[in-house]
Amino acid sequence: MSDQKQLFKGKTAADRISAQGSDQLSLPRLGFTFWIAISWMVLVIVAAIVAPLLPIADPEEIGVGPRTQGPSWDNWFGTDSNGRDVFSRTIWGARISLVVGFFSIVAGFLIGGTMGVVGGYRRGWTDQALGFIVFVLLSFPVIILFLLISNIVGQGLWEVSIALSIVVVPSVARLARAITITFAEREFVAAARILGATNRRVMVKEILPNVLIPMSALLLLGLGLTIVAEGGLAFLGLSVADGFSWGKMIQLGAAPRTLQTAPWVAFFPIGAMFFTVLSLNWAGDRLRQHFDIRELGIGGR
Amino acid sequence: MAGVMVAVTFVVFSAMNVLGDPLFNVVGFYASVDCDSVLAGETEDVIGTVPGTGKGECEVVAEARAKYHLDDPLPVRYGHWIVGMLQGDFGESYKNQMPVSTILAERLPKSVLLMGMSVVVALGVAIPWGVAAAYRANRGFDRVSTIGSFSLLSIPGFALGIILFYFFVVRWQIFPSRFKDDNLFSRLHSLVLPAISLGLPLAAVYQRLLRTDLITTLQEDFVIMAKAKGLSDRRIMFRHVLRPSLFGMITVVGLNTATLLGGSIIIENIFQIPGFGRELFVSAVRDDNTVVLAGTVVAAAAFVTINTVVDLLYSYLDPRVRRDV
């Protein structure tokens, strides 16, 4: 962990020097918009963590305010048809959205990253077999794939995260493989092998740190992707069975009657999800440019 | 390609057969009746099973077993299915005994139309937008449009669908709230909003890709050459720069377009379109194995086909690819 931090610092320092010096190709700065995006993320995450301590209404309590009332001083985001406070529900809804999004992207990176690094380093039939698996995963309609897995594992918080991670595995595996290949033939890898390092050691100690840095930008973009995917699943009633996330709130708010009489019930969680995904995309893209990774269109799916 | 199809269908086939009892999915709770003893005449009404079940129900069960080859081992059953599939016979739906091909023939055209319209929306917006942004990169318009494209990129398709639904259907009532299948115009009319919901976020993705590639191409020597010859900016952009810059975008278009076919379930739900994605989803939830299998085949085939078409497009766009092959 400390190794990574030093590498990170070293890179930005080098970047600063080259920017001060000649007009050579310097890495783009992160810029203040990057920090705005990060601030929003911190705000959302902190609010989600300390939600039980905040002086807000109980999200499940019926009749906190008058029923179906637009945004007011007492209920900032209005109330739904059961008189529940939409503001407090939006904060509480962030919990499942963020947790499922976070764990599925982490699981997706573990699975896809391992596949990519192993395939890109070993090459040969291992690479071909892994490439075939990635292509098969891509050919599935995502919803069928998800239903198959969630049929096996169930609808708890962790289970949904694991099932959802499959959505990002193909993109992550492809990218990790592409980056690994650029490093696998480099001198320091050859040196490690000549010194007698095992394949596993080379992959973990030599290649993985180099793959991780550029991939970290994709982690943010991917988190945006999984948060949206969880929203979609919740919309179909397939996400975590207990509790509610932004997606679940949007689904409830999008019922024809509710949408007609109380559009704010759907619109506020949509807004929360939108700003969160926007700041993740923005921060991720700035990081990606900072590390100079070619655009691969991961945001498309 | 055939290997991918076999792998995909085999995974789905085994998963659906192992996870749920296919006999139960066909005949419901009659599957638990001890039919062997009923048919042998030993009992009329077995204790612990459904009261009032007699020979009639058990004949239905026996028929279902024979029809779907349920007494055979899994690989044999898969063999039966794949042989039938290759002859164009997808079998019958477990739930309503309609031929699966009839169901698909009714559902697919709507989704294909929606897919086509979404691609038109996506490319129709992305190409002019990308060209305009790259023409004066990092200047006023490009900066504003970057914020715009990131915003669009960050709206989930279903959220955009709900917002559009609220304003254009609930508030202003310009578009119908459900799919109308009267004539071509009503079909196109009721698919406008769904196509925008699916197409606009994709347009943002494509615009970003196209813009990046255009900027790279604009730095090539032949652009300076063309400029030196006195060609107009418009001519250089559209005749010389656009074509070689389309590759990155088209690859991603290929990957995304096929997923639109099976992946537009939520949009089809919001706008009440009885399309392919919705059928696939409903069948999967109801364990209607034959329909899910056929749907998966269609979706995977669409994915493989569209990506092959994209490969062919490369050689059309870049003569060098043609010469290499």
Report helix angle B289-317 to B100-135, nearest 10. 30
Chain B contact present for A141, CB below 8 A: yes
Q: What is the ipTM of this complex?
A: 0.81
pTM of the model: 0.82
Looking at residue A280, what is its pLDDT? 92
CB pairs under 8 A between A and B: 138
Residue A73 CB burial class (10 angstroms; 0-12, 13-18, ≥19): exposed
Q: Which residues 192-231 of chain B have a CB within 8 Å of chain A?
A: 202, 205, 208-209, 212
Chain B contact present for A140, CB below 8 A: yes
Chain B contact present for A101, CB below 8 A: no
Residue A232 has its nearest CB partner, among B156, B212, B248, at B156
Minimum Cα–Cα distance from B160: chain A residue: A270
Looking at residue A4, what is its pLDDT? 37
Measure the CA–CA gap between A21 and A33, rounded to whole angstroms. Answer: 25
Residues from chain A contacting residue B8 (CB–CB below 8 Å): 136, 139-140
Measure the CA–CA gap between A228 and B262, rounded to whole angstroms. Answer: 17
* CB contact burial B240-260 (16+ within 10 A = b; e otherwise): bbbebbbbbbbbbbbbbbbbb
What radius of gyration do chain A's Cα atoms show?
22
Interface contact A144-B280, CB threshold 8 A: yes
Measure the CA–CA gap between A75 and A69, rounded to whole angstroms. Answer: 8
Residue A22 has pLDDT above 70, yes or no: no
Interface contact B252-A300, CB threshold 8 A: yes
Judge whether B126 and B249 are in contact, CB under 8 Å: yes
Residues from chain B contacting residue A254 (CB–CB below 8 Å): 162, 165, 270
Q: Which of A139, A148, A239, A287 to mutate to test the interface with B (most CBs of B within 10 A)?
A: A139
C-alpha closest to that of A42 among A280, A218, A212, A288: A280
Minimum Cα–Cα distance from B6: chain A residue: A136
Report helix angle A31-49 to A264-291, nearest 10. 130
Average pLDDT along chain B, 325 residues, taken 10 residues at a time: 79 77 68 63 54 64 74 82 83 81 89 93 95 86 89 90 91 86 86 93 92 89 90 88 87 84 84 89 84 87 85 79 56
DSSP state of B174: -
List, in order of start, the domains of chain A with CATH numbers: 31-66+75-299 (1.10.3720.10)
In degrees and rounded to multiples of 5, residue B98 shows phi and psi of -85, 150
Interface contact A139-B19, CB threshold 8 A: no
Interface contact B280-A143, CB threshold 8 A: yes
Measure the CA–CA gap between B254 and B317, rounded to whole angstroms. Answer: 15
- State the number of CA atoms in the 13 A half-sphere of B128 facing the CB: 5
Residue B296 has its nearest CB partner, among A132, A140, A278, at A140
C-alpha closest to that of A268 among A99, A115, A111, A80: A80
SS3 of A180, please?
A: helix
Measure the CA–CA gap between A240 and A92, rounded to whole angstroms. Answer: 14
In degrees and rounded to multiples of 5, residue B99 shows phi and psi of -60, 135
Looking at residue A17, what is its pLDDT? 43
Residue B281 has its nearest CB partner, among A143, A228, A278, at A143
Q: Which tops the pLDDT comparison, B81 or A301?
A: B81
pLDDT digits (tens, 9 = 90+) for A74-120: 777 878 777 788 888 899 989 999 999 999 999 999 999 999 999 98
Chain A contact present for B7, CB below 8 A: yes
**A204: confidence class by pLDDT, cuts 50, 70, 90:** confident
Which tokens belong to A91?
């904060």
pLDDT digits (tens, 9 = 90+) for A231-276: 988 888 888 888 888 988 898 888 888 888 888 888 999 999 999 9
Interface contact A144-B252, CB threshold 8 A: no
With vertex at residue B2, the alpha carbon angle to CA A300 and CA B4, rounded to the nearest 5 degrees, is 40
Looking at residue B118, what is its pLDDT? 94
